[in-house]
Amino acid sequence: MIFIYLFIPLFLLFYFTLRGSARLDLKIPLFTVSFLCTLITLFIYKELGGEETYSLVNDKEILKRFIADESENKEKDAIEVDRIIFEISNKKGVQAGEIYLLAKRLKDVNENELAVHAFEQLYRNFKNELGGTVLTEYAQVMFLKEERTFNNQIEKVLKEALMKSPDNPSALTLQGLKELENKNIDLTIKLWTRALNFLENERDISELKILIETVKKLKNQ
């Protein structure tokens, strides 16, 4: 597609430049010369990776605009971001960190559906390399996307997260929510109390303590 946009301005540039040469004496039509010069230029541009460079710059601009919530057409840019996720994930030699960084940025701005897509690609390509923290983030964003309800995939990933990081407070908290959904109130309290031991942020500790007390009241009713 980029070649279509470049062809016309390049062709016109060659045509008028050559036509403006007062001493130019061509044996073939000026139109043909301009056409051939344009094709040669585009071929060199492609061989030097110009198209790929342009695509990367354009994709970065789309991502920057979308994450900063500066899109004039949010839905259109969301489709483009979805394409970028797929292309990055299927790029030869892609590293886990590239996909994770994109997934993390989307998660941080609450673009949960796109974040889930990025985490899905990360999980598909690097499942065995992912630590408990990343798996927990994947489970969390799926949980939010599903409007705070659990499904088999969330439970599967959460189980893997706890196997790799049994003391992860976020995973323990999410597991507690699952048990609460299943009306296992004692287990919920146990998991959340355990999670308190590994939290460092005072606000998080305070909020979880309030949740524990609320659940205890439910139990005693």
What are the average pLDDT values for consecutive 10-residue runs of the chain, which has 221 residues? 53 59 53 63 52 57 87 90 90 90 94 96 95 97 95 97 97 96 94 96 95 88 68
Q: Cβ(54)–Cβ(2) under 8 Å?
A: yes
Q: How far apart are the first and last CA of the chain?
A: 66
pLDDT for the residue numbered 91: 85
pLDDT for the residue numbered 165: 96
The rounded distance, in Å, linking the Cα atoms of 187 and 158 is 16
Q: Cβ(138)–Cβ(158) under 8 Å?
A: no
Chain segment 97-152, per-residue pLDDT in tens? 999 999 999 999 999 999 999 999 999 999 999 999 999 999 999 999 999 999 99
Containing H/E element for 174?
helix 169-181
Residues 6+ apart with CB under 8 A from 125: 89, 94, 96, 99
pLDDT for the residue numbered 2: 45
Neighbours of 44 (CB within 10 A): 10
3-state secondary structure 94-137: CCHHHHHHHHHHHHHCCCHHHHHHHHHHHHHHHHHHCCHHHHHH
